[in-house]
Structure 1
């Protein structure tokens, strides 16, 4: 394991230039003390690593030094081919680029690794959109992607959920996220912090000849984690008490939100019959009515009265319709 880590440390310095011990420790998931020992080992082995103290200091390789220790292992080659996303790459306008890169990578691999890489395509396929939902049609996606790559601002006309529904915004596009078949743009619009925009809600887009520099402390993955956690916190507006049959529990595991499934699993089982009583989180009475109606007669709402009455009214209407 240490030999692999030393190679990884060397390649990090080769590819990224000067890095601090703390940055190297974070990348390699080891302690700073371990990084110090690894640097000493590389130096003892003749690798020209030098360190500089101070605010802008860190470790770096002597200018011009490059290692040829870039051979791929079988697992690394398979992982690269597994990570290829032909559908999303094509939507970003990079389909032909990805194909060419994979062909070059495959041609450079030894015969045994080529055979293993081909098996990846034969045995694994990624379909990003969720069930019963088509992926977004986002005609402006390639232009947005180009603006992200080039760090250039864009002027958009955008459709949002609340009034006024159609707005114009000058955006500085920081990054793009693909979530369950939907494309999102994380961009700065002049406020205190970046915001999230559905790319298929962009009605018109004009690239601007204006370069921008993102905030140096912006991290796309960290932003998205915080954004989704915030959405989850805002999502649930109340609770409902329900009874649900064993068959309803099974169907809920296929159809329900994770938070609702967890609440039902933690509920109290009735005897006999195996029905469960549970307190579940809800977004709104309207949304919850639609979700619970998917379970038919395998669920009963006990509280709140408003939601129970909505379910009863809908059930009576269905009974009249089908009588």
Structure 2
């Protein structure tokens, strides 16, 4: 266990440069005292690591020192090739770069690990879009990715959707890209606010000959998790009460939205004497709820709100009238 931690410490210093004892402790999830001991052990083993004093000090390796990539387990080698699946990398314009990196990694691996890792591309395939939908067309993605990487400001023309399409222009600082269910999103700073843009709706862009400084406290993973949670709350902020049969509950997992399906799985409601369960279902609006719940037919009964129940009754009556006229 300690040998693995020492290697991790060495690679952290090699990849990031100067790091304080506290930063190393946080990364390795150990105490600062353990970091002190591990640094001493590296020094005793001949690794040229030294401490810089002062407020901006920390540990670093002697300039020019590099360790060879060694000690990879078979699982670690396989995971590196799994992470290099071609689809998203190609969309970002990095397909050839990933392929070249894999070739170099294969050449550096022992024969046994090389053959095991090489099977990844034969046996695993990543298909990011959800079922029954096509991936977005994103011809500007690689240009946006380049601006993200090089911290270059962008002028964009964007099609915003708020019930109807509206074109807007923005000057943004591109901070990161996120691939969610086959859809690319740009996280950027605009007018001192953090905003999210669907890349497929960027109609036109111009790279500004001007850089920007990333916010010191910005973390893309944390931002996306928080934004996603609030997005779901905004989109599915309404709750309707529905009584469902066992068949209805089963079909709802496939016929209702993913958010609604998750809410039903998490529900602790118990069936009544007839075997039906009354549950709270998150919906976008009454219009959406009316259409979605009609899919469940006689296996779902809307309990509330009264307006939705009345709309369901009226829709069922209208359908019955259609069939009666043709009987």
Q: Same fold (TM over 0.5)?
A: yes
Aligned 8 A contact 1:129 1:180 in 2? yes
Q: CA deviation at 1:227?
A: 1.1
For 2:29 and 2:321, the matched residues in 1 are separated by 64
For 2:103 and 2:48, the matched residues in 1 are separated by 34
For 2:50 and 2:278, the matched residues in 1 are separated by 65
Paired residue secondary structure (1:186) = strand
For 1:232 and 1:56, the matched residues in 2 are separated by 42
Change in Cα spacing, 1:121 to 1:48, as seen in structure 2 (3 Å) is same
Aligned 8 A contact 2:245 2:277 in 1? yes
What are the within-5 Å matches in structure 2 for residues 195-234 of structure 1? 195-234=195-234
Query: Structure 1: where are the runs of 5+ without partners?
Result: none
What's 2:85 paired with? 85
Query: Structure 2: where are the runs of 5+ without partners?
Result: none
What's 1:290 paired with? 291
What's 1:22 paired with? 22
Q: CA deviation at 1:240?
A: 1.5
Change in Cα spacing, 1:56 to 1:242, as seen in structure 2 (3 Å) is same
What are the within-5 Å matches in structure 2 for residues 75-114 of structure 1? 75-114=75-114
Alignment coverage as a number of residue pairs: 321
What are the within-5 Å matches in structure 2 for residues 1-323 of structure 1? 1-68=1-68, 70-162=70-162, 165-191=166-192, 193-255=193-255, 256-258=257-259, 260-263=261-264, 265-272=267-274, 274-323=275-324
Paired residue secondary structure (1:160) = strand
For 1:245 and 1:121, the matched residues in 2 are separated by 44
TM-score of the pair, normalised by structure 2: 0.90
Q: CA deviation at 1:310?
A: 2.1
For 2:28 and 2:210, the matched residues in 1 are separated by 37
Change in Cα spacing, 1:259 to 1:39, as seen in structure 2 (3 Å) is farther
Deviation readout 1:45-102 (Å, 9 max, x if unpaired): 3322222343211111222333235343211110011112311111112222222222
Q: CA deviation at 1:112?
A: 1.4
Q: CA RMSD for the aligned pairs?
A: 2.1
Aligned 8 A contact 2:259 2:282 in 1? no
Paired residue secondary structure (1:165) = strand
Paired residue secondary structure (1:207) = strand
Deviation readout 1:12-31 (Å, 9 max, x if unpaired): 11121111122212222223
